[in-house]
Chains A and B, each alone.
Chain A
Amino acid sequence: MTTTAPDAAGGEAGFPLVLGLDTFGDVTDDEDGHPLSHAQTIRDVVEQGVLADQVGVDFIGIGEHHTGDFPMPAADVVLAAIAARTARIRLGSAVTVLSSDDPVRVFQRYSTLDAVSAGRAEVILGRGSSIDSFPLFGYDLADYEDLFEDKTNLFAELLKDGPVTWQGKTRPALHDQDVVPHTESGPLPVWIGVGGSPQSVVRAAHYGFSLMLAIIGGSPARFAPFSQLFQQALKKFGRAPLPVGVHSPGHVAATDEKAQEEFWPHYLEVFRRIGKVRGFAIPTKESFTHEIGPHGALYVGSPETVAQKIAANLTTLGANRFDLKYGMGGLSQAALMTNIELYGTQVIPRVRELLA
Chain B
Amino acid sequence: MTGATSPPRIAVLGAGHVGPVIARVAVDAGLPVSIAASGDPEEIALITRFLAPGAEPRWAADAVEDADIVVLAIPLHKFPAFDPGLVAGRLVIDTMNYWPPVDGVQELFEDHRYGSSEIVAHRLSRSTIVKTLNHIGYHELDEERRPAGSPRRRALGVAGDDPGAVGVVADVIERIGYDAVRLEGLGAGRLLEPGGPVFGVALGRAGFEQAVHAGAAHGTTREGSI
Q: What is the interface of chain A, defined by CB distance below 8 A to chain B?
A: 1-3, 131, 134, 140-142, 145, 195-199, 201-202, 217-219, 222, 225-226, 228-229, 232-233, 236, 275-281, 287, 295
Any chain A CB within 8 A of the CB of B195?
A: yes
Q: Tell me if B102 counts as interface (CB < 8 A to partner A).
A: yes
Collect the chain B residues with CB atoms within 8 Å of residue A279's CB.
99, 101, 193-196, 199, 222, 225-226
Known: A218-B143, A276-B226, A280-B199. A198 touches B106 (CB 8 A): no
For the complex of A and B, the 6 pairs showing the least CB-CB separation, nearest first, are A141-B104, A279-B195, A279-B194, A280-B200, A229-B50, A281-B201
Q: Are A217 and B50 in contact (CB under 8 A)?
A: no
Q: Give the residues in chain B near A197, CB-CB below 8 Å.
A: 16-17
Asked whether any CB of chain A lies closer than 8 Å to the CB of B202, the reply is: yes
B15 and A218 within 8 A (CB): no
Complex CA gap A295/B53 in Å reads 23
| Interface pairs (26), CB distance under 8 Å | A2-B53, A3-B49, A3-B53, A131-B101, A131-B104, A141-B104, A196-B17, A196-B138, A197-B16, A198-B20, A198-B50, A218-B137, A218-B140, A222-B142, A222-B143, A225-B50, A225-B51, A226-B51, A232-B46, A232-B49, A279-B196, A279-B225, A280-B194, A280-B200, A280-B201, A281-B201
Query: Complex Cα distance A196/B193, Å?
Result: 21
Q: Please, how many angstroms separate the alpha-carbon atoms of A248 and B73 in the complex?
A: 27
Residues of B within 8 A of A (CB): 15-17, 20, 46-47, 49-51, 53-54, 75, 77, 99, 101-104, 106, 137-140, 142-143, 193-196, 199-202, 222, 225-226
- Tell me the bound Cα distance from A201 to B47 in angstroms: 9
Contacts of A225 in B (CB 8 A): 50-51
* Docked pose: A63 CA to B222 CA in angstroms: 30
Q: Is the pair B222, A198 in contact by a Cβ cutoff of 8 Å? A: no
Which residue among A1, A134, A145, A229 has the maximum number of chain B CB atoms within 10 Å of its CB?
A229
For B51, give its contact among A140, A198, A218, A280 (CB under 8 Å).
Answer: A198
Contact, CB under 8 Å: B222 / A199: no
Contacting pair A199 B15 (CB below 8 A) = yes
Cα of A233 to Cα of B51 in the assembled complex, Å:
13
Tell me the smallest distance from the CB of B64 to a CB of chain A, in Å. 21
